[in-house]
Amino acid sequence: MTRLFFRVFLFLINALLACAAGVPSSARRNCQRSWKECPENTVIVSGSNPEAHFSTVQAAIESLPHDNSSRTILVLAGEYTEQLNVTRPGPVTLLGQTNDLTDASKNQVTITWAEANHDNTGQNVDNVFSSVLVVAPTLDASYTGSGPTGYPVPEDTPFGSINFRVYNIDFRNTWSEYSDGPAHALSLSRANGGFYYCGFYSYQDTVYVGKLGNAYFYKSVIAGETDFLYGFGTVWIQSSEILLRNCGGGITAWKGTNTTFENKYGVYIVESSVKAANASIAPHIVGKCPLGRPWNSLHRSIFANTYEDGSIAPSGYIDWIVDGESRLNNETFMAEYCTFGPGFNATGRASTNASIVLSPKEYAPYSSPWKVFQDPSGDPGNAHWIDWQA
Ligand SMILES: *[C@@H]1O[C@H](CO)[C@@H](O)[C@H](O)[C@H]1NC(C)=O
Ligand SMILES: *[C@@H]1O[C@H](CO)[C@@H](O)[C@H](O)[C@H]1NC(C)=O
Ligand SMILES: *[C@@H]1O[C@H](CO)[C@@H](O)[C@H](O)[C@H]1NC(C)=O
Ligand SMILES: *[C@@H]1O[C@H](CO)[C@@H](O)[C@H](O)[C@H]1NC(C)=O
Ligand SMILES: *[C@@H]1O[C@H](CO)[C@@H](O)[C@H](O)[C@H]1NC(C)=O
Ligand SMILES: *[C@@H]1O[C@H](CO)[C@@H](O)[C@H](O)[C@H]1NC(C)=O
Ligand SMILES: *[C@@H]1O[C@H](CO)[C@@H](O)[C@H](O)[C@H]1NC(C)=O
């Protein structure tokens, strides 16, 4: 009897937390299908419909108060050429209008921007300025920086959005059709962000999740060529597609951080697929794409229960040798757990020190978002911001 009460109690708590971010899922779906049915206070964006509140997404973002209230923006079908920057601490939900709520390949809203971290004269800026979407409380918090520990973000920097969400929107950085320097589709730091049925397209460094960034991707598409999942934070990619538009560097390139507590910063790709972006590129990259390489020695990434097509290199992961120095050491954690498909070559994996194949016991500490997402002070279980009903 007590156990039943406890379960009902847990269920109610979870339901409350799930809705706390904004509109409940049925209302959210109705709003995405038919904008006249959106809850009051929803901010509507359209590049063409004069009834909308704003004609750009960034104008809608800037109209929101800088406080802790929950806010929702619906973007009507269309292509928007702009850079987005979300700094407010409260929950923000960006909805894309769509008729196919559960299929990212049919998204009708695209945010496009063409920029790398350099211009055609070679003039360099920090990688963050290339991003289509930035989610971070301040400019300092969003800098990538360089060196093994990256940009030294000031200690007193506040946390950004505690619950940022996007549904059914594609983000495309169209700077070039090949790797030509960092060109982010997303940059998220010091914030919790959930991306559901979204697309992220670029060639190099597509998705950057920086310091104290927590990002969850669900049934989304992430496409790139070189180091296109990189950063310092924590990422869980669930039931999604990783698309190889060519091979370069690795798919994952993480920089770990020494902390006073045991951290699980890294990228976890789970029950997903990794494959050539299309049939034209596939024959050119057979056996050539590394799963990842260590941006610093503390790199942590795991591909788990994930399909790998024939594009993956026999060794899986590779070392990253800079000035003759290997970055591999006993703390480098570039792993797979129950990956399958033509891209998994057991002999190849065994022939290198770069790739680790985990046993169930070794994978267990990382086997759910509740185990890997931590709050800034290192407490685990920071997954309440994830929409489990999406
Ligand atoms: C938002 O909430 C946090 C935590 O409760 C609080 O520290 C902060 O001052 C609030 N921010 C604003 C802008 O109200
Ligand atoms: C994002 O907006 C904040 C607040 O206006 C600004 O300080 C920061 O420079 C912007 N970030 C980028 C990358 O432009
Ligand atoms: C296939 O993907 C490559 C890499 O993104 C791209 O250059 C090419 O245009 C795509 N081809 C087709 C037919 O979509
Ligand atoms: C982490 O600590 C080890 C041991 O002190 C040190 O060798 C390494 O350079 C540190 N790495 C980073 C990224 O701070
Ligand atoms: C790696 O090796 C160093 C030096 O031998 C040792 O202090 C450290 O505990 C080892 N770390 C792991 C994760 O095994
Ligand atoms: C698997 O890897 C081994 C060792 O690298 C290599 O000799 C073999 O050709 C690979 N098999 C396939 C099917 O790629
Ligand atoms: C793997 O590491 C061990 C111990 O450091 C070393 O003896 C061995 O040569 C390495 N193997 C490869 C393939 O690099």
Write down the pTM of the prediction: 0.94
Instruction: Residue 39: give the domain boundaries.
Output: 25-372
Give the Cα separation of 12 and 154 in Å (integer). 39
- In DSSP terms, 337 is beta-bridged to 304
Mean pLDDT across 295-322: 98
Question: HSE of 49 in the Cβ direction (CA atoms, 13 Å)?
Answer: 13
Task: With respect to residue 381, please indicate whether it lies within any of the assigned structural domains.
Answer: no
Answer yes or no: are the C-beta atoms of 68 and 161 closer than 8 Å: no
Query: pLDDT grade, residue 14 (50/70/90)?
Result: very low
In whole angstroms, how far apart are CA 243 and each of 61, 224, 328, 374?
A: 30, 6, 26, 28
Is pLDDT at 13 greater than 80 in this prediction? no
Residue 19 Cβ contacting ligand 3 at under 6 Å: no
* CATH code of the domain containing 333: 2.160.20.10
Answer yes or no: are the C-beta atoms of 98 and 50 closer than 8 Å: no
| Ligand 2 pocket mutation pick from 87, 127, 131 by most atoms within 8 angstroms of CB | 87
Task: Determine the pLDDT at residue 5.
Answer: 54
Of 1 and 352, the structure prediction assigns the larger pLDDT to 352
Share of the chain above pLDDT 90, in %: 92
Mean pLDDT across 284-308: 98
Query: pLDDT grade, residue 122 (50/70/90)?
Result: confident
Residue 278 Cβ contacting ligand 3 at under 6 Å: yes
| Binding-site residues, ligand 2, Cβ < 6 A | 85, 87, 128-129, 134, 139, 142
Query: pLDDT digit string (tens) for 209-263?
Result: 999 999 999 999 999 999 999 999 999 999 999 999 999 999 999 999 999 999 9
51's tokens: 């009834």
Task: With respect to residue 386, please indicate whether it lies within any of the assigned structural domains.
Answer: no
Query: pLDDT digit string (tens) for 340-367?
Result: 999 999 999 999 999 999 999 999 999 9
> Which listed ligand is nearest to 232 at the C-alpha?
4
Q: State in Å: Cα 138 to ligand 2 middle.
A: 6
Per-residue b or e along 95-129, where b marks 16 or more CB atoms closer than 10 Å to that residue's CB: bbbbeebeebeebbbbbbbebbbbeeeeeeebbbb
Query: pLDDT grade, residue 18 (50/70/90)?
Result: very low
Residue 314 Cβ contacting ligand 6 at under 6 Å: yes
Q: State in Å: Cα 244 to ligand 6 middle.
A: 20
273's tokens: 């697929």
Query: pLDDT grade, residue 114 (50/70/90)?
Result: very high
> Which listed ligand is nearest to 297 at the C-alpha?
4
What is the overall mean pLDDT for the chain? 94
Mean pLDDT across 286-298: 98
Task: With respect to residue 8, please indicate whether it lies within any of the assigned structural domains.
Answer: no
Is pLDDT at 75 greater than 50 in this prediction? yes
Task: With respect to residue 389, please indicate whether it lies within any of the assigned structural domains.
Answer: no
Query: pLDDT grade, residue 21 (50/70/90)?
Result: low
Task: With respect to residue 293, please indicate whether it lies within any of the assigned structural domains.
Answer: yes
Is pLDDT at 87 greater than 60 in this prediction? yes
3-class secondary-structure state, position 18: helix
Residue 352 Cβ contacting ligand 7 at under 6 Å: yes
DSSP state of 99: S
Q: State in Å: Cα 280 to ligand 3 middle.
A: 6
In whole angstroms, how far apart are CA 259 and each of 41, 100, 144, 212?
A: 41, 43, 18, 12
Task: With respect to residue 3, please indicate whether it lies within any of the assigned structural domains.
Answer: no
Task: With respect to residue 16, please indicate whether it lies within any of the assigned structural domains.
Answer: no
Q: State in Å: Cα 359 to ligand 7 middle.
A: 21
Three-state SS string over 315-351 comes to CCCCCCEECCEECCCCCCEEEEECCECCCCCHHHHHC
Query: pLDDT grade, residue 332 (50/70/90)?
Result: very high
**DSSP notation for 254-317:** E-----SS----EEEEES-EEEESSTTTGGGSTTTB-SB--SSTT-EEEEES-EE-TTB-TTSS
- In DSSP terms, 241 is beta-bridged to 221, 273
Give the Cα separation of 341 and 144 in Å (integer). 34
Return the residue whose CA atom lies nearest to atom 6 of ligand 4.
258
Q: How many domains does the chain have?
A: 1
> Which listed ligand is nearest to 330 at the C-alpha?
5
232's tokens: 């310092």
Query: pLDDT grade, residue 11 (50/70/90)?
Result: very low
Task: With respect to residue 177, please indicate whether it lies within any of the assigned structural domains.
Answer: yes
Residue 81 Cβ contacting ligand 7 at under 6 Å: no
